[in-house]
């Protein structure tokens, strides 16, 4: 399997050096500023789906990943997935759920409607070490990085940005890993107290937390600026774990297959997924699963008040907000107004025309967005093709979150986090008869206790080991958005 940049001037088969999975594993952006995608999406047969229904999560991950990581020996890849996806790693399951299932499903409601019934299902993705769905990919990424670096004796300096959950997931996956340092940017004082404590309380010498005076998009822009400085990136051995990293996206494809297989009994059935969405990485994995042949009816993007993606899927206009226009909300991991992974979907939407993609995203930089509505003066009419990819969307507000958290607690006896509440609110607007709707859980409620207390009047339950995390000593530095200063800081701590 070869990989192509969304902005490539030539196909990988015409390239002097075709890129394979291991070639792009440690990086983020391609040298031309684009994002990597496979030259083609491998297809999954009905016979494979039938056989996969009987597999453990680790074995399912191996079967899917081997279609993309063709340059990693099968035995090695199988050992890596077996090491990653264990009930010991994903042990924070709710009462009544089996941790060995890794991503257990919980049916929330079934209702009789005209023509059949509707079913709303929650897929637990937050049972890993940092209580967020990011652990599903990040734990594998940590093991893949260590495996790859050990073969060459190389080292890697991970430079990333987080709006709350990526940072802790990356740091817990990489702490103590030989040859790896982590430099993680986060928006200063804009994460929950729990999220902040998870990251800043780590004292490992290879972990460096940097609180940036700005919003998440400022942090993300700094990561892109450093990634585009190719001489610096090479000299400092910079890699990324943000959702632009292809390995993270493809690892997330696995739980779409798992959710589908667990919710159905035959391949003639379809399901839909609702995905709380900010950077478009999670739902991008769903798009890839659907392109591989997984029988998905709808992919519903649920946004908060930062509704850039909802606006596009309603109107065809992609309009990036400025930092001053980005709301600080009670679902802060989605406080994003420039969706980094959206370029991967646009590449498919415009027929994999890399010249079009390059022009459209150049316009994002110069004019703050683009318009594919087909209206006079627009940049194209591809919005009319969105429906064939199954995308729908919706928006949720702070009041919606509080109401949904209360409803779910009253009706189903479980406490959900704020982002998952956004998902459930929007999912209810897109239910259809005889097509189960699976909502992907974002995190456990304990990570956003301030809002849970506001909604329910009681603290969210915490898994063992997290009782007093906010009281631990914290290690971090505060910096402004000066890229040159950031580069100097990294260089001073790598010695390269």
User: Which residues, listed in sequence order, are joined to residue 271 by a DSSP beta bridge?
Assistant: 296
Query: What residues have CB less than 8 Å from 222, skipping those under 6 apart?
Result: 161, 185, 212, 481, 483, 486
190 catalytically annotated: no
CA-closest candidate to residue 233, choices 26, 3, 445: 26
Q: Would you put residue 369 in left (φ > 0), alpha (ψ -120 to 50) or beta?
A: left
Q: Which of 67, 87, 114, 134 is catalytic?
A: 134
| Cβ(280)–Cβ(428) below 8 Å | no
Question: Alpha helices, DSSP H only, in 236-374?
Answer: 246-263, 281-291, 308-315, 342-349, 354-367
CA-closest candidate to residue 276, choices 416, 153, 408: 416
- Tokens in use for 459? 């603290």
Environment class of residue 456 by beta-carbon count within 10 Å: exposed (0-12), middle (13-18) or buried (19+)? middle
- Tokens in use for 162? 């987080």
CA-closest candidate to residue 187, choices 364, 321, 336, 320: 336
- Tokens in use for 131? 């209580």
Element (DSSP H or E) covering residue 424: helix 418-427
Rounded Cα–Cα distance for residues 49 and 354 (Å) = 32
- Work out whether strand 437-440 and strand 156-161 pair parallel, antiparallel, or are unpaired: unpaired
| Cβ(319)–Cβ(372) below 8 Å | no
CA atoms within 13 Å, Cβ hemisphere of 104: 18
CA atoms within 13 Å, Cβ hemisphere of 353: 10
Q: How many residues does the chain have?
A: 496
Give catalytic residue positions. Answer: 134
């Amino acid at each position: 399997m070869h990989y192509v940049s969304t902005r490539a001037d030539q196909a990988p088969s015409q390239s002097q050096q075709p890129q394979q999975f291991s070639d792009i594993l440690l990086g983020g952006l391609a040298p031309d500023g684009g994002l990597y995608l496979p030259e083609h999406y491998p297809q999954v047969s009905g016979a494979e789906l039938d056989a996969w229904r009987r597999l453990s999560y680790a074995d399912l991950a191996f079967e899917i990943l081997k279609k993309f990581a063709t340059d990693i020996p099968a035995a090695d890849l199988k050992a890596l997935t077996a090491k990653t996806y264990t009930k010991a790693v994903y042990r924070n399951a709710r009462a009544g759920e089996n941790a060995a299932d890794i991503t257990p499903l919980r049916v929330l409601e079934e209702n009789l409607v005209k023509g059949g019934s509707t079913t709303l299902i929650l897929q637990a993705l937050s049972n890993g070490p940092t209580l967020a769905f990011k652990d599903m990919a990040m734990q594998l990424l940590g093991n893949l990085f260590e495996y790859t670096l050990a073969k060459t004796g190389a080292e890697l300096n991970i430079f990333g940005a987080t709006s709350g959950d990526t940072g802790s997931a990356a740091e817990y996956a990489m702490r103590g890993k030989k040859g790896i340092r982590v430099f993680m940017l986060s928006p200063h004082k804009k994460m929950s107290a729990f999220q902040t404590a998870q990251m800043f309380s780590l004292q490992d010498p290879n972990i460096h937390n940097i609180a940036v005076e700005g919003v998440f998009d400022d942090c993300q822009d700094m990561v892109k600026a450093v990634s585009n400085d190719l001489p610096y990136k090479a000299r400092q051995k910079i890699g990324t774990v943000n959702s632009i990293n292809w390995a993270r996206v493809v690892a997330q494809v696995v739980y779409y297959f798992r959710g589908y297989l667990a919710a159905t009994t035959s391949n003639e059935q379809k399901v839909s997924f609702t995905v709380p969405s900010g950077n478009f990485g999670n739902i991008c994995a769903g798009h890839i699963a659907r392109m591989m042949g997984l029988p998905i009816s709808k992919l519903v993007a649920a946004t908060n008040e930062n509704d850039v993606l909802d606006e596009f899927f309603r109107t065809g206009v992609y309009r990036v907000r400025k930092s001053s226009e980005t709301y600080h909300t009670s679902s802060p991991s989605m406080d994003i107004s420039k969706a980094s992974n959206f370029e991967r979907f646009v590449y498919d939407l415009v027929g994999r025309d890399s010249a079009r993609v390059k022009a459209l995203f150049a316009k994002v930089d110069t004019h703050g967005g683009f318009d594919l509505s087909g209206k006079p003066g627009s940049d194209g009419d591809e919005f009319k093709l969105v429906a064939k990819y199954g995308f729908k969307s919706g928006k949720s507000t702070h009041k919606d979150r509080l109401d949904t958290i209360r409803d779910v607690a009253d009706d189903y006896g479980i406490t959900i986090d704020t982002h998952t509440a956004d998902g459930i609110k929007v999912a209810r607007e897109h239910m259809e008869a005889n097509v189960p709707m699976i909502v992907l859980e974002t995190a456990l409620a304990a990570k956003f206790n301030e809002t849970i207390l506001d909604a329910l009047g009681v603290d969210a339950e915490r898994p063992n080991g997290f009782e007093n995390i906010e009281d631990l000593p914290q290690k971090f530095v505060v910096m402004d958005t000066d890229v040159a200063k950031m580069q100097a800081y990294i260089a001073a701590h790598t010695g390269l």
